[in-house]
């Protein structure tokens, strides 16, 4: 059996996935922009961790597996202390060790992950390495998982000994490794069969990773993304949705006991059935009456570098790099202010100063999903005490435009259970139906995040195009808020 460590992990998640990888690759989706970026972050973190064990010999994947296994053996035989990507093969199973230490008492396997904690799947990962390496005739002294440490705040320079945490895992690995022969024999049996394994969907489709066969198993085979799928019911957790699905309740029309659902779920089903819009005019009027003009519509974009880039920040800390501010006056006049940081420098102080210059004290501020904007400002206040008072005052002034939609004072059947601004806008303001799709390069917060994080590595001309795309995206978010207010006002007359 030809099996890499990553296929072993995929097989542990789902044997059907392993089979599809071998027999029906076309059923698998290509990684999207965000997954690709995550892989690249993982690689960068792996390379950085090598500096904890300097002057090692590197095995290069492109030289070929057989050559690399031979080269690893030569390096070990010649007493090389540290090998990066050391490669071993046993009965067709190939493993590459991120950082292998060669000591007189035995080998030390170090697996590096860009995550911030130990997960069960990493024990499988280390265990298959342990299994192959011991069968190649080596003894293993330690098996460690090295991950990022969120308790460490970087100073002027990066202290790698504090940025990373090494967790000893040998005991758990030794407990799991004896199960591997049985697992491998199951995998072998599955892979030999010509028929696709009959494995149902479940929570395992997203655990530990979002499976690349989801569009095949969920959409193509089961039509589960249809609007009236129980998987689209709002305020119902994944376990309960699967529970309904397993009882044969896959569509809204299959639900007989409608009273077992909450008010918002019943409303969703009702509006879907009748293709109707639910409007509680009195509540919307009350909400609009609570606003005072001019309204400052605020939206931030943030990114979360895995390796802290700026003094005082930790791994994956959310760093705001952009905001858009539309100022809507009672007479319909609209002003726009914005900020987009230069890449490569700490954007926070300049962002704070521009924000404070743009929003007067006691301004009435709206955000869509205000807890996000409040959280960003509160963290800035904690990091920069010199601005704490003014920032916390701004945070306290923010009201939430999402409220009437989350509370279902307005619900359009096209929202499909969601109240995100990306679905509310086209439902409520049809002339802006395709506004987000028509944007170029950046269409959502995830793309904005990846775009800014990688801006510096792009050619100069592309950098300018992406900066324009970021400005256009963030501006649309606050313009959408203005249009939503106007549409609500129109609704209640
Ligand atoms: S989507 Fe789910 S059932 Fe299908 S292969 Fe992936 S994990 Fe298995």
Closest CA to 272 of 239, 222, 236, 234: 234
Summarize pLDDT for 382-438 with one digit per residue, the tens.
999 999 999 999 999 999 999 999 999 999 999 999 999 999 999 999 989 889 989
Task: Note the pLDDT tens digit of each residue in 364-398.
Answer: 999 999 999 999 999 999 999 999 999 999 999 99
User: Hey, which of 18, 24, 26, 205 would you mutate to test ligand 1's pocket, going by the most ligand atoms within 8 Å of its Cβ?
Assistant: 205
Q: What is the pLDDT of residues 224-264, one digit of tens each?
A: 878 999 999 999 999 999 999 999 999 999 999 999 999 99
CB of 109 closer than 6 A to ligand 1?
no
Task: Say yes or no to pLDDT of 33 above 90.
Answer: no
Which residue has its alpha carbon closest to ligand 1 atom 7? 205
What is the model's pLDDT at position 46?
Answer: 97
- Scanning 99-166, the segments in alpha helix (DSSP H) are 120-135, 160-163
Helix, strand or coil, per DSSP, at residue 262: coil
- Per-residue pLDDT of 432-473, as tens digits, reads 988 998 999 999 999 999 999 989 989 998 999 999 999 999
Q: State the DSSP code for 215.
A: I
Using 50, 70 and 90 to split pLDDT, how confident is the model at 348? very high
Query: Ligand 1, atom 5: nearest CA belongs to which residue?
Result: 17
Ligand 1 lined by 214 (C-beta under 6 Å): yes
Question: In testing the pocket of ligand 1, which one of 213, 221, 224 has its CB within 8 Å of the most ligand atoms?
Answer: 213
Contact (CB, 8 A) for 93 and 8: yes
pLDDT at residue 433 in the model? 84
Q: Which residues contact 76 (CB under 8 A, 6 or more apart)?
A: 83, 86, 102, 107, 138
Backbone angles phi, psi at 467, to 5 degrees: -65, -40
Phi and psi (nearest 5°) for 315?
Answer: -60, 135
Going by alpha carbons, the residue nearest to atom 3 of ligand 1 is 201
Atom of ligand 1 nearest to the CA of 202: 2
Q: Tell me the whole-structure pTM to 2 decimals.
A: 0.90
Q: What is the mean pLDDT of residues 347-352?
A: 98
- Secondary structure tally for the chain: helices H, strands E: 19, 14
Name which residue leads in pLDDT, 33 or 283. Answer: 283
Ligand 1 touching residue 224 (CB < 6 A): no
User: From the CB of 10, is ligand 1 less than 6 Å away?
Assistant: no
With 80 as the cut, is the pLDDT of residue 84 above it? yes
Whether pLDDT at 289 is above 80: yes
486 lines ligand 1 (CB under 6 A): no
């Amino acid at each position: 059996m030809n099996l890499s460590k990553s296929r072993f992990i995929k097989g542990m998640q789902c044997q059907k996935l392993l089979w599809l990888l071998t027999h029906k690759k076309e059923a698998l989706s290509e990684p999207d922009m965000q997954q690709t970026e995550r892989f690249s972050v993982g690689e960068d973190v792996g390379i950085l961790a090598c500096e904890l064990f300097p002057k090692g010999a590197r095995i290069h994947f492109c030289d070929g597996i057989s050559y690399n296994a031979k080269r690893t053996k030569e390096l070990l035989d010649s007493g090389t202390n540290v090998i990066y990507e050391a490669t071993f093969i046993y009965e067709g199973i190939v493993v590459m060790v991120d950082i292998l230490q060669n000591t007189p008492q035995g080998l030390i396997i170090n697996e590096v992950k860009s995550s911030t904690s130990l997960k069960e799947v990493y024990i499988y990962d280390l265990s298959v390495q342990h299994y192959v390496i011991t069968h190649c005739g080596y003894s293993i002294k330690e098996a460690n998982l090295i991950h990022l440490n969120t308790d460490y705040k970087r100073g002027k320079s990066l202290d790698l000994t504090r940025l990373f945490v090494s967790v000893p895992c040998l005991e758990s690995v030794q407990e799991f490794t004896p199960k591997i022969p049985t697992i491998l024999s199951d995998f072998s049996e599955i892979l030999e069969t010509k028929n696709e394994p009959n494995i149902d969907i479940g929570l395992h489709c997203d655990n530990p990773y979002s499976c690349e066969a989801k569009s095949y198993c969920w959409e193509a085979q089961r039509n589960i993304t249809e609007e009236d799928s129980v998987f689209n019911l709002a305020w119902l957790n994944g376990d309960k949705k699967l529970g309904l699905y397993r009882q044969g309740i896959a569509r809204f029309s299959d639900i007989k006991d409608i009273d077992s659902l909450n008010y918002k779920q019943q409303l969703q089903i009702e509006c879907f059935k009748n293709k109707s819009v639910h409007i509680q005019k009195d509540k919307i009027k009350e909400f609009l009456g609570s606003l005072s003009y001019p309204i400052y519509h605020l939206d931030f974009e943030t990114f979360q570098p895995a390796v802290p880039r700026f003094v005082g920040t930790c791994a994956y800390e959310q760093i705001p790099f952009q905001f858009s501010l539309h100022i809507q006056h009672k007479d319909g006049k609209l002003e726009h202010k914005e900020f987009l940081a230069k890449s490569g420098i700490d954007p926070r102080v300049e962002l704070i100063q521009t924000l404070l210059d743009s929003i007067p004290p006691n301004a009435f501020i709206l955000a869509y999903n205000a807890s996000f904007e409040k959280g960003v400002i509160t963290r800035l206040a904690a990091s920069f005490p010199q601005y704490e008072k003014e920032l916390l005052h701004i945070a306290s002034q923010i009201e939430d435009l999402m409220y009437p939609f989350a509370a279902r004072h307005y619900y359009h059947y096209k929202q499909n259970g969601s109240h995100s601004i990306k679905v509310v806008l086209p439902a409520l303001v049809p002339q802006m139906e395709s506004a987000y799709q028509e944007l170029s390069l950046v269409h959502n917060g995830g793309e904005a995040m990846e775009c800014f994080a990688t801006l510096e590595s792009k050619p100069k001309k592309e950098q300018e195009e992406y900066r324009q795309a970021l400005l256009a995206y963030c501006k649309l978010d606050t313009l959408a808020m203005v249009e939503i207010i106007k549409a609500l006002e129109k609704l209640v007359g």
